[in-house]
Every structure is written in C-alpha cells, then in structure tokens.
C-alpha cells in the first residue's frame, strides 16, 4: 500500500492517519537499503525440492552483482548484511505461509 492509498483509505473511513501506520516509500529508505533490495532481487531463490521449503537466496555471484551495480567496495559488507536480514525475514514469511496452507495431519 502506498502513502496515497493509505491516506485515501483513512479519508474514506473517516479515520485520522496514524504516524506508525503510514507506509514508507522505497525512495525514503537510505541508499544502502535500496541497493541491498535491488541486489537481493537479482539473486536466485533456493528451494528444498523434497519439502518445498524456501531455503533463501543463493549468494553465488553476489560479488559480481555488487560490482555490476557499481556499489562501492567499502559498502559490500554492509550490503551483504542487509541482504541476509531481508532474506531471513522473507524466508520466515514464506515458510510460515506454507505451514498455514498445509492440511492438518
């Protein structure tokens, strides 16, 4: 949901927008976070073929991606750390959603 959509929804419902609920636009994130998300999207997903569980992003080729996107070498460690944080959150989300969809045995 974008900020505009949020404000429109609040207006339609007659609610006052709450600062804690206003969505953040991508361009409001620090440059390093934007770079981490962009590099993250270029990495390959890894799945467990037996269980169908999401294992996370493969970091194979990360150095090439960071160089190709012209991220300064002094920022590589920070960008990789941010990618790992993004991937941990996404992995939990995907695997929890999968568990919720599985029938109870």
Instruction: pLDDT tens for the chain, 105 residues: list them.
Output: 888 899 999 999 999 999 889 988 899 999 999 999 999 999 999 999 998 889 999 999 999 999 999 999 999 999 999 999 999 999 999 999 988 887 766
User: What's the farthest any 2 CA atoms get from each other in the chain?
Assistant: 51
- Asked if the structure places residue 11 within a domain, the reply is no
- Asked if the structure places residue 74 within a domain, the reply is yes
- Asked if the structure places residue 5 within a domain, the reply is no
**Domain housing 50:** 27-101
- pLDDT for the residue 104: 66
- Asked if the structure places residue 72 within a domain, the reply is yes
- Asked if the structure places residue 93 within a domain, the reply is yes
Give me the number of domains the chain comprises: 1
- Asked if the structure places residue 13 within a domain, the reply is no
Q: Which residues, including other chains, have CB under 8 Å from residue 58's CB and lie 6 or more apart?
A: 43, 44, 45, 46
- Asked if the structure places residue 63 within a domain, the reply is yes
First and final C-alpha spacing in the chain: 36
- pLDDT for the residue 102: 77
- pLDDT for the residue 36: 97
């Amino acid at each position: 949901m974008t900020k505009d959509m949020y404000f429109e929804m609040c207006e339609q419902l007659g609610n006052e927008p709450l600062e804690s609920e206003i969505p953040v636009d991508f361009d409001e994130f620090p440059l390093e976070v934007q770079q981490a998300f962009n590099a993250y999207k270029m990495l390959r997903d890894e799945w467990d073929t037996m269980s169908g569980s999401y294992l996370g992003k493969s970091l194979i080729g990360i150095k090439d991606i960071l160089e190709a996107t012209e991220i300064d070498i002094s920022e590589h460690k920070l960008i990789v750390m941010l990618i790992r944080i993004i991937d941990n959150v996404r992995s939990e989300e995907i695997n929890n959603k999968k568990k919720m969809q599985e029938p109870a045995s």
